[in-house]
Amino acid sequence: MKKVMLVFGTRPEAIKMCPLVKELQSRKALQTVVCVTGQHRQMLDQVLEIFDVHPDYDLSVMQDKQTLFDITANILLRIREVLEQERPDVCLVHGDTSTTFVTALACFYLQIPVGHVEAGLRTYDIYSPYPEEFNRQAVSILSAYNFAPTERSKQNLLREGKKPETIWVTGNTAIDALKTTVREDYTHPELDWAKGSRLIFITAHRRENLGEPMHQMFRAIRRVMDDHPDVKALYPIHMNPVVRKAAEEELSGCDRIRIIEPVNVFDCHNMMARSFLILTDSGGIQEEAPSLGKPVLVMRDTTERPEGIAAGTLKLVGTEEETIYREFTALLDDPQQYRAMAHAANPYGDGHTCERIADILEKGSTEI
Ligand code: UD1
Ligand code: UDP
């Protein structure tokens, strides 16, 4: 029986890997082992609980205000024993976090084949997003199985010299997750609070935005909120204390902005589905929002998700206060501009990505 191990550690990896865990566990020809690094703690556990996934291993690496050195060193040292003990036929990692990169590196040291879920996303700017662009490029060098979400991501890998027989266009498991969460009859006290107003949904956390860029983002949001009394904003805040301090400094004191604790993925998807527009620097939200037909102002200078821009639902607005202020205001005040962005498009698959990946793992074999 082929042994497949999945390793993940942060919220977005968990949201996109848990549906795959479930699918793999349903396959009799596969033995599934789950290891979480615990790079995130509360935000990871929230997802494990919703999907009812119980890891076989938990490396519990998270530290308050952890640096890239902390995460890298702790995962590398702790995962070695797990990989040596389990010796999986293939180890699946997801996307571009430090958990992803370090696990792939450890697999390489032990010559364990790596399968990369969400492979081939690129900005080709090594510092944006940071350190994610490096992480995903580095994983691509050594991965034996590359599950590309779109044709465009496959083309990136081919251009870099990956062998075509190691790449499959599968869609993104984010859509598999999204198909199970959004409900017509969903209610939540925060949505009751926002009734009668246009609801803005906000998230922000990127490492390269910490500091001045994040302050500028928040200042722009605050100014637009002050200008528009008919608008309310819901901001489930990341647990990073640096993000929390900046938000507290720039956004407190406006009773139409509610900063709340991170919501579970079920609430998050439903809140996004009920919002008027979304402001974010998140990667995953750029994949989910086009499906929901929600305009997104992406507060970043680059994106590895050009499919959403091409579909018209995402707009890159950078991190400068004046640009965000102008673009956010325009979407609130100009119905034509809003309508041009608010239409459902789904470049990321049909919700059957996990089945495809499981089929490939059951049947396929590949060389690096
Ligand atoms: C990480 C990933 C990033 C991903 C993001 C998703 C890296 C280098 N970064 O960034 O690619 O987009 O997760 O959210 O892999 N914290 C808690 N509890 C939690 C989670 C975080 O308290 O459940 C706090 C801790 O103080 C921690 C800090 O947030 O030190 C930052 O977490 P970290 O994983 O280092 O970086 P993220 O910005 O979350
Ligand atoms: N999300 C969530 N609760 C929140 C905020 C976000 O469940 O309070 C979900 C969101 O729907 C998406 C994922 O978390 O699926 C994105 O995670 P994040 O922005 O932390 O990371 P990124 O995608 O940027 O790596």
Are 131 and 37 within one domain? yes
pLDDT digits (tens, 9 = 90+) for 123-137: 999 999 999 999 999
Residue 180 counted as domain residue? no
Residue 262 CB less than 6 A away from ligand 2: yes
Are 224 and 318 within one domain? yes
Residue 368 counted as domain residue? no
300: left (phi over 0), alpha (psi -120 to 50) or beta: beta
pLDDT at position 363 is: 87
Over the chain, what is the mean pLDDT?
A: 96
Angle (deg, nearest 10), helices 321-333 and 212-227: 30
Q: Give the position, in ligand 2's atom list, of the atom nearest the Cα of 236.
A: 8
Residue 15 CB less than 6 A away from ligand 2: yes
Q: Is 202 exposed, middle or buried (0-12, 13-18, 19+ CB in 10 A)?
A: buried
Query: Residues lining ligand 1, CB < 6 A?
Result: 10-12, 39-44, 63-66, 68, 71, 96-98, 131-132, 205, 207, 239-241, 283
Q: What is the mean pLDDT of residues 250-277?
A: 97
pLDDT digits (tens, 9 = 90+) for 298-308: 999 999 999 99
pLDDT digits (tens, 9 = 90+) for 48-82: 999 999 999 999 999 999 999 999 999 999 999 99
E-assigned strands of 290-368? 296-298, 314-316
Q: What is the mean pLDDT of residues 212-230?
A: 98
Are 12 and 140 within one domain? yes
Distance of CA 245 from the midpoint of ligand 1 (Å): 15
Q: How confident is the model at residue 367 (pLDDT cuts 50, 70, 90)?
A: very low
Angle (deg, nearest 10), helices 11-25 and 173-181: 90
Q: What is the mean pLDDT of residues 230-248?
A: 98
Are 157 and 197 within one domain? no
Question: Is 321 labeled as catalytic in the residue annotation?
Answer: no
Which residue range is the domain that position 45 belongs to?
2-172+350-363
Residue 181 counted as domain residue? no
Residue 183 counted as domain residue? no
pLDDT digits (tens, 9 = 90+) for 307-324: 999 999 999 999 999 999
Question: Is 118 labeled as catalytic in the residue annotation?
Answer: yes
pLDDT cut 90: percent of the chain above it: 97
Are 196 and 231 within one domain? yes
pLDDT digits (tens, 9 = 90+) for 63-72: 999 999 999 9
pLDDT at position 366 is: 44
pLDDT at position 368 is: 35
Total of domains in the chain: 2
Are 196 and 151 within one domain? no
Q: CA-CA distance, 59 to 79, in Å (whole number)? A: 7
Dihedral angle computed from the Cα positions of residues 335, 338, 340 and 346, in that order, rounded to the nearest 10 degrees: -150
The encoded tokens of residue 50 equal 């919703």
pLDDT at position 345 is: 86
